[in-house]
Amino acid sequence: MQLTKTQKSIVGGMTVLGITGIVCKLVGVLFSIPLTWLIGAEGVALFQLVFPTYNLLLTISSAGLPVAISRMVSHCLARDDPRNARRVFRIALWMLTALGFLCTLLMLVGSDFLAARVGEPLAAPGYIAIAPCLILVCALSAFRGFMQGQQNMVPTATSQLIEQVGKVFISLPLAYLGYQRSLAYGAAGALLGITLVEAIALLYMVLLYCRRRLLFQQLVQDPTAEILPGRVLGSRLVRIAIPITISACIVPLAQFVDSAMLLNRMMVAGLSRDVALPLYGLFSGLVIRLINIPTGLALAVAMSLVPAISAAMAVHDRKAIVRQSDLGLRFAFLIGFPCSVGMSLLAEPIMAFFYAETLSAEHLQIASELLSVSSLTVVLFTVVQATSSILQGLHKQRIPMYTLLAGVACKIVLNYVLVGIPGINIHGAPISSIVCYTVSMVPNLYYVLKHGQMKFNWMGWIVRPGVATAAMGLIVFILRELLPLNRLWTLAEVLAGVAVYIGVALLVKAITPDDFRAFRRGGKQKH
């Protein structure tokens, strides 16, 4: 089946953001290795303790509005109304900047309280160092939403690369300098570097916007389109953004709770603080970073779907909505299945590949066990992201909010129970994540089928990717048993698994040649 022009644009957007996402996540993992060398496992734990609060405030201030911008801009452009699309962006930029300023102020004033909440006073300088990042990222997300609404994913991808690469050259030296003074300032130095890098990424987006503003003004304008008042546009942005923001806040809120709960529950399970703190660092700082590599592809799928489906909704093209939703879910399963199975089977060699010289043998074994189970969340998370984006594009943004809330409630309860059991402790965290995303995924799929007026594509979503994943898993398992544990053979196992997966996927038509033609057009987005 030939892909339509719009579908090729979606696949192209997925390609650009997906490749960039993988590179960024890999840089993030590689960043954690020298960071661990510089400030140690306890320093990394301090670094990670700050992030749940930062992520929660950032999500509250900036998660919903960029999606709303993307959706409203794509809707306006589909109706040949760039004038209102530009007004949407300007109003949203002011709203995001104001929210970011408020959250920055809250974190600066409440740094001591936030450090006391996680039971670690040494984290206070870190909260101060990362606080200005909130206003910077909020403003940055407005520009990203505007570009994504034009189905132009290249600026977002480039700014993400600036963020990740910049961390290596700015955060690491500042972490080293801070560590010369104390452990707390070492973690704070790394966080300050992230703030400075976000300022550079924002500068890039502002300059790009100024350069392309004249091109945008030359787009065809429907003279009959009504100039909507700012109050109306602002109200629409808020109505769209609030359910998406609440939905996006649920997981960071769970992480916010976990940052205090996991340490306390591990100590209830009989572990001392000196033992529990490094275990928390292993899970949140190392394992989750590795899990985030393939989930970067899931986010690429999600960001590409919202403006495309919203544009189809604007012109009431039901067939396009079905085609685009099917494409998004097909790629979600194509990405999620092999990543989950491959990372689970190769958990020990992958962990050794990155951290063999950094971790003790005991910590390396624990981290490998955590990764083996945690990797199973990748396919669940990928499908949750895709279905949430489809529902947001269909103007049903409240549904993923409720389903994710139910999932996270299960996660918090299970974390409380399982992590507090001796013999399970930190190993309860990945189990609770699997339950969380399963509880969210099942109803999401049901409502996508219902509101998208489509049928469950068993062959395209499950059977064909499943057959290719099974073949890949068999080869990886055999090679893992036969080959010694070292970096060279680990790389060979990964490459062999990828080759077998792509080969079998082509054979069973899970991937088609037309998909690859769309990939090659990935960089040719609309400007």
Distances (CA, A) of 427 to 183, 283, 462: 27, 9, 29
Q: Which of 456, 474, 507 is the last residue of a domain?
A: 456
* 235 and 371 together in one domain: yes
Banded model confidence at residue 521, pLDDT cuts 50, 70, 90: very low
Q: What is the pLDDT of residues 306-325, one digit of tens each?
A: 777 877 777 778 888 888 88
pLDDT value at position 40?
80
Domain boundaries, position 516:
457-521
* 425 and 504 together in one domain: no
Q: Which of 428, 456, 484 is the last residue of a domain?
A: 456
* 440 and 485 together in one domain: no
DSSP string, 357-418: TTS-HHHHHHHHHHHHHHTTHHHHHHHHHHHHHHHHHTT-THHHHHHHHHHHHHHHHHHHHH
Give the separation between CA 253 and CA 238, rounded to whole angstroms.
21
pLDDT value at position 302?
66
* 385 and 470 together in one domain: no
Of residues 140 and 521, the one with the higher pLDDT is 140
Amino acid at 369: E
On the question of pLDDT at 207 being above 90, the answer is: yes
Contacts (Cβ under 8 Å, ≥6 apart) of 475 = 496, 497, 500
Determine, yes or no, domain membership for 318.
Answer: yes
* 167 and 274 together in one domain: yes
Mean of the pLDDT values across residues 246-270?
A: 73
Verdict on whether the full-model pTM lies above 0.85? no
Banded model confidence at residue 251, pLDDT cuts 50, 70, 90: low
Interhelix angle 64-78/5-62, rounded to 10 degrees, is: 140
Per the listing, tokens 């190392």 go with 286
Give the separation between CA 451 and CA 80, rounded to whole angstroms.
26
Q: What is the pLDDT of residues 459-501, one digit of tens each?
A: 989 999 999 999 999 999 999 888 888 888 999 999 999 999 9
Determine, yes or no, domain membership for 527.
Answer: no
- How many other C-beta atoms are found inside a 10 Å radius of the C-beta of residue 140? 26
* 430 and 375 together in one domain: yes
Give the total number of structural domains in the chain. 2
Of residues 282 and 57, the one with the higher pLDDT is 282
Tell me the two tokens of residue 502. 């792509």
Determine, yes or no, domain membership for 124.
Answer: yes
Determine, yes or no, domain membership for 360.
Answer: yes
Q: Which of 433, 456, 479 is the last residue of a domain?
A: 456
* 255 and 145 together in one domain: yes
* 361 and 503 together in one domain: no
* 426 and 510 together in one domain: no
Tell me the two tokens of residue 358. 């950094």
Q: What is the pLDDT of residues 140-149, one digit of tens each?
A: 988 988 888 8
Mean residue pLDDT of the chain comes to 83
Determine, yes or no, domain membership for 526.
Answer: no
Residue 463 DSSP label: I
Determine, yes or no, domain membership for 349.
Answer: yes
* 324 and 353 together in one domain: yes
**Main-chain phi, psi angles of 249, to 5 degrees:** -75, -20
On the question of pLDDT at 434 being above 90, the answer is: yes
Determine, yes or no, domain membership for 202.
Answer: yes
* 289 and 391 together in one domain: yes
Could you tell me the sign of the dihedral formed by the alpha carbons of 350, 353, 359, 364, in that order? positive
Among 162-171, 500-509, 512-521, where is mean pLDDT lowest? 512-521
Determine, yes or no, domain membership for 473.
Answer: yes
* 148 and 272 together in one domain: yes
